[in-house]
Chains A and B, each alone.
Chain A
């Protein structure tokens, strides 16, 4: 049992942190007041420097991929990194990024689709991939802080990938758990900064115990979610990945509610970035069936029930 990163992981994560704290990752109010800011430049830097390959590096592996996803999700900007980093061991190396993932109804709005260059479908019996062409996809307006889209044409170029669909699905569950966990942490940190500064009744908001206890209880869940996710990434045991995702999805409801409460009216604007985290979280918390489905899955796998 060893919770510190090994030497390679430490180097990898600290370089990642440096890059991710650079100019391209910060909060910008886009001219069109859109709900997300696509960080193309940062994404390309990460891709060009091989960051999305970490899961196939022997001394880094899926645990590092999960930690990387968690870190990138803390940023206010949006990129596609969860599938690219976590599913890398299963994908053809030439599959172009960004990758959109279909893990449920293919007719529903799918995140990243309008910016994706390929799409991965994780079905019950097979995993398929296809490259996307102009005209395949139509963007849709959405509540969520991701580029969302639907297929405007039937894709005829699907290629079956020879991998175990269950393993891909479990990796994907861990990837989503990491992304949601990091998203909650990023939003939380933005709100904490506000609570230390903003004063009402002559004191910093952050000094009110009614808020402190809720933040502290959330901190416990956010911390736990991180370690549950990393542990699930190491073993890729089916029960562990369902526990990790179910746990963080369960936590997300309270955390998101609290964060918006604590920001007051400021949290309802597009000028403060809080919405960029919370409206990602609000989508991710229903991914792969949502908390109920994942916790049920965790129980049925752990105790082999129907």
Chain B
């Protein structure tokens, strides 16, 4: 057991930090304030990601064949931490890097790979993920969007909701039902749908979490060629399982939380209030929560780095991450409420908005608890 970084890993992190110091403009804080799905941040990613690609820092963990450098899992993870902690200047493109690209490499047709992967590796593609629906959130397998085969095409009808990045994305990684209404997980297929296809309509949903972050997407008689289907009909569930296994621990949110906590403590020191033992206890508690989330996450990364499949430890880590994010944002609200009005500390507002999402997006905290109970503690299924 060894809980320290190697010299090489430290140097890698330093290199990324140097890059960020050089490439993030002075007004970056104001841009990042709007949220990863905002027009401001998406536009920024269109120039930032190509620079990352050029420096070999966009897809280093991808195989060389697709523009990567076959770098180890830990480096990919360090990169993710640094990007998220600096406000995620890759915007929506982090999804391509983490799971959409690797999923296409594994399951895509030659045509799909040639068409979609190179732009991702160059930092020039914006995707969105069309999974959730008005009546299928936590119970994703209940989704109703239909894709009906019509000759060489499919015709898609339905509604997706909470779709991040949809307003600016060129392509949607869409789940739709090709089987009958009662086919559950087995009746779903994946479609790679260009967002400018006639019949696709996007409406931004006003929210507490950044400009233009979440959307409703309406698909009305959207006709796509059968060649836009990824994998076979009914194969969606196993493909998503594979792709999201890469994402099991999710975003390294604790890294931003830990850094925001540092800033909060600095503010309290400036105000001469950090000697208050009540404040110190709460700061220690928040710091411990961040450290807990970090180590539980690292354990899952370590499993992956050694070639293992992520187990229920990933759900444990996810729950700890939610606790850490909220612990820091609550600390700020309790002791530095003045910084949550006005724009003195855009970073606190941005962190708060990201933190309140942590327990909902990509599987609610309570779903994580269900999974921990069944898979980690081996408790019987919930009583009806």
Contact = CB atoms under 8 A, between A and B. Distances in A.
Given A1-B302, A216-B373, A217-B369, A227 B295 contact: yes
A5 interface: yes
Interface in B281-311: 281-285, 287-289, 291-293, 295-296, 298-299, 301-303, 306
Nearest to A192: B377
B269 interface: yes
B3 A1 contact: yes
Contacts of A2: 1-2, 302
B313 to A, nearest CB: 8
A246 B283 CA distance: 12
A63 B4 CA distance: 13
A296 B280 contact: yes
A303 B280 CA distance: 10
Contacts of A225: 292
Q: Which of A192, A195, A227, A235 neighbours the largest number of chain B CB atoms within 10 Å of its CB?
A: A227
A261 interface: no
A216 B369 contact: yes
A243 B1 contact: no
A196 B380 contact: yes
B370 interface: yes
Interface in B265-288: 265, 269, 274-275, 277, 280-285, 287-288
Nearest to A295: B284
Contacts of A296: 277, 280-281, 284
A250 B288 CA distance: 10
Contact of A215 (B74, B366, B377): B377
Interface string A195-217: 11000010110111100110111
Contacts of A192: 377-379
A242 B288 CA distance: 9
Interface in A185-243: 192, 195-196, 201, 203-204, 206-209, 212-213, 215-217, 219-221, 223-225, 227-228, 230-231, 234-235, 242-243
B287 A299 contact: yes
Given A215-B377, A227-B299, A306-B275, A234 B3 contact: yes
18 contacts: A2-B302, A4-B306, A67-B1, A192-B378, A192-B379, A207-B382, A213-B369, A216-B370, A217-B369, A220-B320, A223-B316, A225-B292, A228-B295, A243-B287, A243-B291, A295-B282, A303-B283, A305-B274
Those 3 A-B pairs whose CB atoms lie nearest each other, nearest first: A295-B284, A224-B292, A212-B373
Given A2-B302, A215-B377, A228-B288, 15 more contacts: A2-B1, A63-B1, A206-B379, A208-B383, A209-B382, A213-B366, A219-B372, A223-B316, A224-B292, A247-B292, A292-B281, A295-B280, A299-B265, A299-B287, A305-B280
